Chain A
């Protein structure tokens, strides 16, 4: 009879064990990074493991790290943001132009005097970051309102944002930025104590990258925002059915990616005192590779900030080690490419193993 009580708990099969691929992938990236460090340490012990050199790796990576963190959010939603490299360039150009504009009259700037730089520099940095957010919002609006694939939208804006930056600069490096942004802010050593020796420098870009990375990890792991990011990438229809405003959330995620790219853009001014439209043009692919190497799945629903951090350190560590070892740094491209293909292969294996269960 249908109404009979069933005292027995519903029977459940034994829980499946994690597959080899699953276990591999979680530790894979860290192992690769460790292997790189060990190899170069054995080759060039004194130089590679020196405080000064590791410090250089940290500084070099801070910019790529920000791009990687931002795009990690987008990739977890099963989207992609190819435009981050152009957003970085445009943000740097806008920040530089604004700084020059507000620092003084053209004559004063030409004479290398910047009477208003104390005001102009913060405004420039703020507008640079704002530019990144606006670019991200444009991406998000196109993806959600026109219902277009993010690959196409951001491939388009990759060209648009770079083109605007080129138009603003005439295609050249922006000259006449107040040097204080570099000397007094960007390269200021905030760790004057000799704890790690004189070679160790703690400069603002490192601190900004560190703080934003920690904040991103908290956002992704402990908040509703992070939960929705995973849910949308995992099953967008299910997220809609439970009443999540998917379009609104995606808009925020693309804006966040733009924000991170915008901050990364200001690093150019802080470290080099210029905004160049010529460099960074392949940083988008480097950041996406780093996220994917770090375990973020291009199919969505999977990815961690910790993984992306490790993924972002692999190219800089490789390049640094190769240069020190006297190997042509071009091998870095070969090595990163191989690691990327391996990482995606393992991710696919893991996915198909999971779906078979």
Chain B
């Protein structure tokens, strides 16, 4: 609670209002609104087709909304590409592990942002592997991720370690906010715990994390706030400390909100 109250005293990092998005006849987002404050973990939940991924894709520049306003770091923005969103400090971790498995952790973390040697060698494209490695080590230490051998190709690591690298990459470059689309969907129990720990570590650095998950126990374990989407609308906002999993499921499936037991259920 302390965290959330302290958070509300500040400006939200990201505030979107009345976002609409159509795919042909399908109204995928209906006046969706969302605000994210520094240092909080927000879980986006909803049934299949509720618009969670569409919302994240709009917020990360993958999709352009049909209407709505987006205020990011105090300024009105509209991203026309994921690159623009990344340049603004927004990073995304995808469910399907957007890593290059034949490269090592350092190469993956710096992929597309390689550091080159100073001077002429740099202009010729020579990589400064030593510097990239040192910065990776610092980052992984800060996040408490231990990768056995940084020089090993990711294909030889476990799924959790690979997702750890993907999260570390996002966090290393995200100066403002991190989105995660089902970051634990492909992982086992122990590996999922590791990613949840990582989410907390990221939040503790002050950078908010917005994550999509179907796994209710995970959501209630790590989220500071739960936003429920149904048929493209934000229908409820739950406090995981007071609401129950039943409340969340009821909100997702569209049972009348009044029926939801527990005072934690807040009409969105």
Name A's B-contacting residues (CB within 8 A): 1-6, 9-13, 15-16, 18, 222-225, 227, 230-231, 233-235, 237-239, 241-244, 301-302, 354-355, 357
Q: Indicate if the CB atoms of A237 and B98 lie closer than 8 Å.
A: yes
Q: Is B148 an interface residue (CB 8 A)?
A: yes
Contact pick for A15, options B145, B157, B201, CB 8 Å: B157
Q: Is the CB of B98 within 8 A of A10?
A: no
CB–CB B102/A234 < 8 A: yes
Q: Does B51 contact A (CB under 8 A)?
A: no
Which B positions have Cβ atoms within 8 angstroms of A? 2-3, 41, 82-83, 86, 94, 98-103, 107, 111-114, 116, 124-127, 144-146, 148-149, 152, 155-158, 160-161, 164, 190, 193-194, 197-198, 200-201, 203-204, 221-224, 240-241
Q: Are A224 and B201 in contact (CB-based, < 8 A)?
A: no
Knowing A2-B224, A6-B197, A231-B103, say if A242 contacts B125 (CB, 8 Å).
no
**Residues of B close to A2: CB separation below 8 A:** 41, 200, 221-224, 240
- Whether B145 contacts A10 by the Cβ 8 Å rule is yes
Can you name 5 A-B pairs with beta carbons within 8 Å?
A11-B190, A16-B156, A237-B98, A244-B111, A301-B101
B102 and A230 within 8 A (CB): yes
A224-B114, A301-B100 given as contacts; is B157 within 8 A of A241 (CB)?
no
Bound-complex Cα distance A222 to B2 (A)? 49
Complex interface: chain A residues within 8 A of B144 (CB): 6, 9-10
Give the distance in Å from the alpha carbon of A355 to the alpha carbon of B103 in the complex. 15
- Min CB distance B8 to A, Å, is 15
B98 close to A233 (CB less than 8 A): no
Rounded to whole angstroms, the CA-CA distance of A5 and B113 in the bound complex is: 31
Q: Which residues of B contact A5 (CB under 8 A)?
A: 200, 204
B62 to chain A, nearest CB (A): 9
Please give, as numbers and ranges, the residues of chain B lying within 8 Å of A238 by CB-CB distance: 98-100, 111
The contact of A227 among B82, B114, B240, by CB within 8 Å, is: B114
Q: A231-B111, A244-B111 are in contact. List 18 more A-B contacts (CB 8 A).
A: A1-B241, A2-B223, A3-B3, A3-B203, A3-B224, A5-B204, A10-B146, A12-B161, A18-B156, A230-B100, A230-B102, A231-B100, A234-B102, A235-B98, A239-B112, A242-B111, A243-B112, A357-B158
Check A13–B125 contact: CB distance below 8 A.
no
Closest to A223 in B: B125
CB distance from A346 to the nearest CB of B (A): 16
Q: Which residues of A contact B146 (CB under 8 A)?
A: 9-10, 12
- Residue of A with least CB distance to B147: A12
A-B interface, 9 closest residue pairs, ranked by CB to CB distance from nearest? A242-B112, A301-B102, A10-B194, A234-B100, A234-B102, A223-B125, A15-B148, A224-B125, A238-B98
Residue of B nearest to A222 (CB): B126
- Which residues in A have their C-beta under 8 angstroms from that of B103? 227, 230-231, 234
Interface-central residue, A18, A237, A238, A243, by most chain B CB under 10 Å = A238
Chain B residues near A15 (CB, 8 Å)?
148-149, 152, 156-157
Measured CB to CB, the nearest residue on chain A to B156 is A16
Q: Determine the distance from Cα of A144 to Cα of B198 in the docked complex, in whole angstroms.
A: 38
Asked if B156 and A354 sit within 8 Å, CB to CB, the answer is yes
Q: Which residues of A contact B112 (CB under 8 A)?
A: 239, 242-244
A7 to B, closest residue via Cβ: B144
Please report the C-alpha to C-alpha distance between residue A237 and residue B158 in the assembled complex, in whole angstroms: 21
Q: Which residues of B contact A1 (CB under 8 A)?
A: 241
In the complex with contacts A12-B148, A222-B127, A224-B116, A239-B100 CB distance below 8 A: yes
Q: How far is the CB of B113 from chain A (nearest CB, A)?
A: 8
Give the Cβ gap from B244 to chain A, nearest Cβ, in Å.
15
B149 CB contacts on chain A under 8 angstroms: 15
Residue of B nearest to A244 (CB): B112
CB–CB B156/A357 < 8 A: yes
B104 to chain A, nearest CB (A): 10
Q: Which residue of B lies closest to A231 (CB)?
A: B100
B residues in contact with A11, CB < 8 Å: 190, 193-194
- Bound CA span A301–B111, Å: 14
Closest Cβ of chain A to B181, distance in Å, is 12
